[in-house]
Structure 1
Amino acid sequence: MSSRLGILNKTIVLAILLFSSASCVQGQLGRNNSAQYRNGMVVCAYPDAAKAGLDILKKGGNAVDAAVAVHFALAVTLPQAGNLGGGGFMVYRGKKGEVATLDFREKAPEAANANMYLDANGNVIPDKSLYTHQASGVPGSVDGMIQAHKKYGKLKWADLLQPAIDLATKGFKVTTHLANDLNKNKAQFTRLNPGKNYFVKTTDWKEGDILTQADLGKTLEAIQAKGRAGFYEGTVADQIVAEMKSGAGLIKKKDLQNYHSVWRKPLIGQYKGYKIITMPPPSSGGIALLQLLQSVEPYPLSRWGYNRDSTVQVMVEAERRVYADRSKYLGDPDYYKVPVDSLLNAKYILSRMQSFKWEAATPSTTIQPGSFAGYESDQTTHYSIVDRDGNAVSITTTLNDSFGSKIFVAGAGFLLNNEMDDFSAKPGVPNMYGLIGGKANSIQPGKRMLSSMTPTIIEQNGDLFMVVGTPGGSTIMTSVFQTVLNVIAFDKSMQAAVAAKRFHHQWLPDVIYTEEGALDSVTAGILTKKGYVLKPRGPIGRVDAILKTKWGYYEGGADPRGDDTKLGW
């Protein structure tokens, strides 16, 4: 009997070893049971778009090829944020460590002016920067993808557009999230788009319905056939200008013809020996992330633990000061001298935290933007992709509000952004996300509005470590900040780091916003006694990220707060 048991035990052990070996070959074993892959990974906000990107990787495309396919597929399947009519930022890291950042943020039309949203008494006119034709900046998304592909792409441009065209013309299945959003916005779609019937039907949308978009498909075909000229010139450009004229909008043919993306020098910093590669202005996200990480680096967060009272207190006090700096110093560097070096100076960052006291919260009314010598006066989407060679892209793109201005371009089938709200319409008056701005972010013709987008790539010992980013308006920087700490300081897997509950503070209003379950009752009680105001809110961010493990596998983190999907091979 014992002999039989011994043989049986050996057989079981051998089977386990064989299974483990096979799993490793297939790239399926991972930390905390997270699937891992050797040849590449796509993490983005909609299943069909993730599949489009993975298919391109499998056909021999690189990370940028896959990014183009994902971007245009999201313009079809995620109309809340995926877009042709918006803009964004890309952080790129090549397999040999070369880095670049692409700014395809929208720009103010030439007819824009600093007081365009003010009434005769100098007060901000409600919703004029949000739900009118004048809310839209000149779109940069199409040019951004063209420039990225021109510099780094391998496969033919036409092949990268085809998945999106098929999704638009043949249709795709609507998820519960998308159905709910379409139903919730039906009244505004109808009110703001007389004579158009995009996304509007007599019955409610439900999961599994097929959404087809014939006009959008034609626009995508024009971009497929003619590249930049298929959008910024010709029929589509005529349709954009006609739409503008119908609602006293400001974008003209000259604005479209003059739009060009800009390659900028990446911001690079350090945290605990990790190299942080992120986006420079006009994104405020990169500077904010580096300031936040350096502000908390001296404190033993790992010992204190994830979302414990001391950890939260230090992070909130850092956020309070960083957002105060953002209000004064951040804007389009082509129009305003942004003091990047001063803001990222280690002594300056440490000095900002000196007023922090453990005994009580620092009232935001006592925190002003910092000063230094020599200085003169939520709806977005993100995707992270890595290919089999190790090329990586981190891209965040947006229409600003969910469905942007909610105004469609008649005949072209895509939504216009309302990014002009990201400018400071009037110094000291908050935008839709409650963010305060001033002269650095005032409206000027041709200027890019300030953004919170924070696409980021991280290295460890000269090798790729993490690709990360998120939508979320003003919460973008803090969501990326927390996700990075969740992995580096708190040793969470990529999926656990992305799914972890979040909190957010942005200087003004002086409130810590918390997701349900982010803070336990003991932690909440300690913080409240110290004078912190806690306010529950809905989901914060939708992070999509990729971690390269020490064994060389890619491990994805797809945010469970949405339809986000991770696919690899």
Structure 2
Amino acid sequence: MNRSLSLVTVFLSVVLLTSSCRKPVSLREGQGVYQYDSEKSRTGSDRFFSNKPGVIASSGMVASAHPEASRVGVDILKAGGNAVDAAVAVQFALAVVYPVAGNIGGGGFMVYRDKAGTAYTLDFREKAPAKAHKDMYLDAAGNVVPDLSTLGHLAVGVPGSVDGMVEAHRRFGKLPWTQLLQPAIDLAEKGFALTTIQAAGLTSTLPLIRQVNPGKTYFQKADTTAWQPGEQLVQKDLGAVLRRIQAQGRAGFYEGETARLLVAEMQRGRGLITDEDLKNYRSAWREPIVAPYKNYRIITMPPTSSGGVALVQLMRLMEPLPIRRWGWNTDSTVQVMIEAERRVYADRAKFLGDPDFVKMPVDQLTSRDYLTSRWADFSYAKATDSRQVKGGMIPGYESMETTHFSVVDKDGNAVSITTTLNGGYGSKVVVGGAGFLLNNEMDDFSVKPGVPNMFGLIGNQANAIAPGKRMLSSMTPTIVEKEGKLYMVVGTPGGSTIITSVFQTIMNVLEHGMTMQESVNALKFHHQWLPDKTTFESGAFSEQTLQYLQSRGYTLERLTNSLGRMDCIMVRPDGTLEGASDPRSDNTSMGY
């Protein structure tokens, strides 16, 4: 039913009209009537995955993908470590207890805000080996060779996780490095109990691991039967690698015995990484993206991650719209969020890549004038055709498995880290004699312009393969301030869905009044420009919203699985911390 325009809506329309020479979107009230009810949500109904409660603590909090890793982080905080110390310990613990994505053979990003409010970002994303080239995954006819960029040795980029943790600790750590590595060593050498989800995941992946690693027995039981929940996974070779890193720091991975084993593995499988690639790898401190949203401040990751740019674009596209009044996941709210996502992912494909190789118009992409112009071809009457949506025009410009954890310490220092092997268990390559998995991050490059990667993302020349170049990522570790004070630490895995999951989780709190855990529990949806469809968790939309979207030509796909694995922390009004870990998996918040 159509309603008259409110005075606020009329004012917003005028603002949009005067800020752009192109025809603006006409803002109007939403059709839907659903309003979020926090009391009702706690029953587990009303489009929430579950009614899992948050974890409350007064002095420190860790939210991660595995209970053992969260326990390690809290123990470090209790021992006097700061948020960076705990993050380093959690990263190495996850490399042991969460092999599907935790790693020393991958890479990632860190957003750090110290207690004084100063922000830093560290890029420890993998790099292409020196022998890599833009056509390395194409056949003689120029077609993409299936699986070559995702499975096996040629899919592996130079790992950055160990260097990243060394660099973070060097600059901000408090406790001794050796102390931070010991919990992971103990977990590797003594073993840990597999969860139900882990046992099923390992068992289903073993055929590919055996295929890629002939003659090796890593992640396999002696009797070759399926893994069962509660069984112990012991990783002696990985423990030995961690001991070398403990004793030698960076050299314990990028030089010496571990490097020799990694390079030998590459030669065995015709991979490209050499001793020189390992010695030359360095993580990079970058200038964080910091942007206001109403009375909040968003601190997020710049490229090589696309996540920060995209998140700020999405939030600023929403800023003039009355989505709080329209209501959570109502028809108009969902429609404008889908349309914003469509345009932002088109920009991602056109403009973003490694800042050491590509000049990117980040300030223009996140400017309000530019974003206003992106609404010019939108109509509430029908879905925009993604085939007609391109990356925007900027004058002067030349042309899914990950894990996240959040940490806040007693002093208010906060860390948001997203780290990955890319696909589940990465390339499936296990380094012989070392026992750790290697990434398949080379697939995150644009293997061929216009051809989608494993997550369906389209890339262009900005993200083409080049020696020493970092591949574009969707990882979106983010910290939010409220009135100048720490408010939220947010992030998730999920490949191309990371950006939209983080976006919705933040907006659920800022605009719809949810607690941190309620926002994590809330069912979510995703659109990424191409393919031109909206995927959604079953139950995310009311029947009224579904009918509204379908009547306007939106292609909707109900998922049989779920979106995101959020691990977040929020500072509550009384100063206590709410840890919010995703009920969709084993994610666990712990505090003290």
1:15-61 Cα shifts (integer Å, max 9, x gaps): xxxxxxxxxxxxxxxx9964321101000000000000000000000
Task: State the 1:453 CA deviation.
Answer: 0.2
User: Given the superposition, is the C-alpha separation of residues 33 and 498 from structure 1 closer, same or farther in structure 2, using an over 3 Å criterion?
Assistant: closer
Q: Offset of 1:353 from its aligned partner?
A: 1.3
Select 2:513's aligned residue among 481, 487, 491.
491
Distance 2:227 2:515 in 1: 36
Q: For the residues of structure 1 that align with 2:126 and 2:420, how far apart are their CA atoms?
A: 10
Q: Which residue of 1 aligns with 2:379?
A: 357
* Partner of residue 168, structure 1: 188
| Corresponding position of 2:16 | none
* 1:188 aligned onto 2:211: no
Q: Deviations over 1:522-564 (max 9, x none)?
A: 1111110110011011111111100001111110110011100
- Root-mean-square deviation (CA, aligned residues, Å) is 1.0
Matching residue of 1:114: 134
- Where does residue 558 of structure 1 map in the other structure? 581
1:558 aligned partner, one-letter code? S
Distance in structure 2 (CA, Å) of the matches to 1:430 and 1:32: 36
Report deviation, 1:347.
Answer: 0.3
Partner residue, 1:62: 82
CA distance in 2, matches of 1:469, 1:533: 27
Aligned residue identity for 2:98? L
Which consecutive residues of structure 1, in runs of 5 or more, have no partner in the other structure? 1-30
Shift of 1:79: 0.3
Tell me which stretches of 4 or more aligned residues in structure 1 moved more than 4 Å. none
1:323-381 CA distances to partner (integer Å, 9 max, x unpaired)? Answer: 00001100000000011111111100111012111111111011111001111121000
Once the two structures are overlaid, the 10-residue window that deviates more, 268-277 or 31-40, is: 31-40
Query: What is the aligned partner in structure 1 of residue 32 from structure 2?
Result: none
Identical-residue share of aligned pairs (%)? 60
Spell out, residue by residue over 1:454-473, the C-alpha distance to the aligned partner (whole angstroms, 9 max, x if none): 00001011100000000000
Contact kept? 1:189, 1:200, Cα under 8 Å: no
Q: Is the 8 A contact 2:76 2:86 kept in 1?
A: yes
Match of 1:407 in 2: 429
Determine if the alignment matches structure 1 residue 88 to structure 2 residue 111: no
Contact 2:84/2:169, CA 8 A, preserved across alignment:
yes
Counterpart mapping for 1:404-483 below 5 A: 404-483=426-505
Match of 1:224 in 2: 246
Contact 2:104–2:159 under 8 Å retained in 1 = yes
Residue matched to 2:312: 290
Residue in 2 that maps onto 1:213: 235
Aligned to 1:375: 397
Paired with 1:455 and 1:251, the residues of 2 have a C-alpha distance of 28
Q: Distance in 2 between matches of 1:299 and 1:32?
A: 31
Q: Deviations over 1:392-440 (max 9, x none)?
A: 0000000000000011000000001000000001100000000000110
| Residues 217-252 of structure 1 deviation map (CA, whole Å, 9 limit, x = unaligned) | 000000001000000000000000000000110000
Contact persistence 2:517–2:580 (CA under 8 A): yes
Matches for 1:11-90 after TM superposition, within 5 Å = 34-90=54-110
SS at match of 1:283: coil
Report the AA paired with residue 287 of structure 2.
Answer: K
Worse overlay, 399-408 or 518-527: 518-527
| Cα separation, 2, equivalents of 1:186 and 1:427 | 33
> Which residue matches 1:398?
420
What letter matches 2:203 in structure 1? N
In the alignment, is the contact (CA less than 8 A) between 1:267 and 1:286 conserved in 2?
Answer: yes
Q: TM-score, normalised by structure 1?
A: 0.94
Secondary structure of 2:315 counterpart:
helix
Deviation by residue 1:458-509 (Cα, 9 ceiling, x = unmatched) = 1011100000000000000000000000100011111110111000000000
Q: Report the secondary structure of 1:178's partner residue.
A: helix
* Alignment check: 8 A CA contact 1:275 1:458 kept: yes
- The answer to whether the 8 A contact 1:243-1:410 is kept is yes
Which residue of the other structure, out of 334, 345, 350, is the alignment partner of 1:312?
A: 334
1:568 aligns with 2:587: no
For the 8 Å contact 1:266–1:278, the answer to whether it is kept is yes
Match of 1:150 in 2: 170
Give the aligned partner of residue 544 of structure 1. 567
| AA matched with 1:133 | H
Secondary structure class of the residue paired with 2:375 = helix
SS in structure 1 opposite 2:374? helix
Mean Cα deviation higher: 536-545 or 151-160: 536-545
Aligned to 2:143: 123
Which residue pairs with 1:133 in the alignment?
153
Q: Deviations over 1:433-456 (max 9, x none)?
A: 000001100000000000000000
Whole-Å Cα distance in 2 between the matches of residues 372 and 208 of structure 1?
A: 55
Match of 2:119 in 1: 99
Partner of 1:239: 261
- State the alpha-carbon separation in 1 of the partners of residues 104 and 513 from structure 2: 38
Q: Secondary structure at the match of 1:147?
A: helix
User: Does structure 2 retain, via aligned residues, the 8 Å contact 1:32–1:493?
Assistant: no
d(CA) in 2 for partners of 1:130, 1:374: 36
Aligned equivalents of 1:236 and 1:171: distance in 2? 21
TM-score, L = length of structure 2: 0.90
CA distance in 1 between counterparts of 2:95 and 2:538 reads: 31
Q: Distance in 1 between matches of 2:82 and 2:54?
A: 24
Counterparts of 1:206 and 1:160 in 2: how far apart (Å)?
30
Question: For residues 269 and 400 of structure 2, what CA distance do their matches in structure 1 show?
Answer: 25
Distance of 2:180 and 2:169 partners within structure 1: 10
> Which position in structure 1 is the counterpart of 2:6?
none
> Which amino acid in structure 2 is aligned with residue 92 of structure 1?
Y
- Please tell me the residue identity of whatever aligns with 2:454: M
* Structure number with higher helix proportion: 1
Q: Secondary structure at the match of 1:277?
A: strand
Equivalent residues, number: 539
Contact 2:55 2:589 in 1 (8 A): no
Structure 2 residue ranges without an equivalent (≥5): 1-50
